[in-house]
């Protein structure tokens, strides 16, 4: 498994605009009614797969709420998904500058920095996200996937285990954890983890095949 920043960011975008519409994010009172209409249009555009139109609508919303960190974060995330990495980094940095205690914003920025080739900043922001919230599973997953991709299996396993404590039936994470156990030579833990996957998803072909391989190699 490799770190897939675009996929992780897309997961964030699914809820980002709707969160703004629900007023869970900090907003400014001036221009709220107009902003709501703009956000509804942005949400419709995104749901239809028109990311460029969604970006344009968020930019309009920012003209009425220029200091709203959630708007900067949403814009940056959309730009990232649209392939505008440099713009994404700029706007996500602005979101973090305004609201520096958001593990969500830190994680999104880390993903953008990684794609921009800034590995040191990626590590800085993903670690900062987990300092803010050690149970924030998106950040744990990002850091674990990164460590797995560079063969730091013990570090990756630590974060995957922390995720499983929170999401015990997360099959994707269990499969990654099994790889970590296998690569560190712990065949018993590998076997138990694949068996756990199959108890959740009995038809999981990957778990079946890998479990057979592990048992045959014992």
Q: What is the pLDDT of residues 135-163, one digit of tens each?
A: 999 999 999 999 999 999 999 999 999 99
Query: What is the C-alpha separation between 140 and 80, in angstroms, rounded?
Result: 20
Helix (H, G, I), strand (E, B) or coil at 109: helix
Query: What is the C-alpha separation between 62 and 135, in angstroms, rounded?
Result: 31
Taking every pair of Cα atoms in the chain, the longest distance, rounded to a whole number of angstroms, is 67
| 97 vs 27, higher pLDDT | 97
| 66 vs 25, higher pLDDT | 66
pLDDT beyond 50 at 96? yes
Topology annotation, domain 151-218: 1.25.40
- The pLDDT of residue 53: 94
Residues 151, 171 contacting (CB under 8 angstroms): no
What is the pLDDT averaged over residues 116-144?
A: 97
Residues 6, 79 contacting (CB under 8 angstroms): no
Topology annotation, domain 1-134: 1.25.40
User: Cβ-count burial of 209 within 10 angstroms (0-12 exposed, 13-18 middle, 19+ buried)?
Assistant: exposed
What is the pLDDT averaged over residues 7-17?
A: 64
Query: Fold match between 1-134 and 151-218?
Result: yes
What is the pLDDT averaged over residues 160-184?
A: 97
> Where along the chain do its domains lie?
1-134, 151-218
- The dihedral sign for the CA sequence 169, 14, 112, 1: positive
The DSSP output letter for 25 is S
- The pLDDT of residue 183: 96
């Amino acid at each position: 498994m490799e770190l897939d920043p675009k996929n992780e960011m897309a997961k964030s975008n699914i809820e980002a605009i709707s969160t703004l519409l629900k007023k869970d994010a900090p907003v400014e009172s001036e221009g709220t009614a107009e902003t709501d209409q703009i956000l509804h249009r942005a949400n419709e555009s995104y749901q239809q797969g028109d990311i460029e139109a969604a970006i344009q609508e968020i930019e309009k919303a920012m003209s009425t709420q220029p200091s709203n960190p959630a708007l900067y974060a949403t814009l940056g995330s959309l730009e990232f998904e649209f392939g505008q990495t440099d713009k994404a980094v700029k706007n996500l940095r602005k979101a973090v500058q305004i609201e520096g205690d958001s593990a969500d914003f830190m994680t999104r920025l880390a993903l953008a920095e990684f794609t921009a080739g800034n590995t040191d900043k990626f590590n800085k922001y993903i670690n900062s996200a987990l300092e803010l919230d050690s149970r924030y599973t998106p950040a744990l997953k990002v850091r674990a996937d990164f460590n797995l991709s560079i063969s730091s299996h013990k570090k990756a396993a630590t974060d995957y285990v922390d995720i499983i404590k929170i999401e015990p039936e997360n099959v994707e994470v269990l499969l990654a954890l099994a790889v970590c156990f296998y690569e560190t030579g712990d065949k018993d833990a590998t076997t138990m983890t694949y068996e756990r996957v199959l108890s959740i998803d009995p038809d999981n072909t990957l778990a079946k095949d890998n479990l057979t391989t592990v048992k045959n190699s014992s």
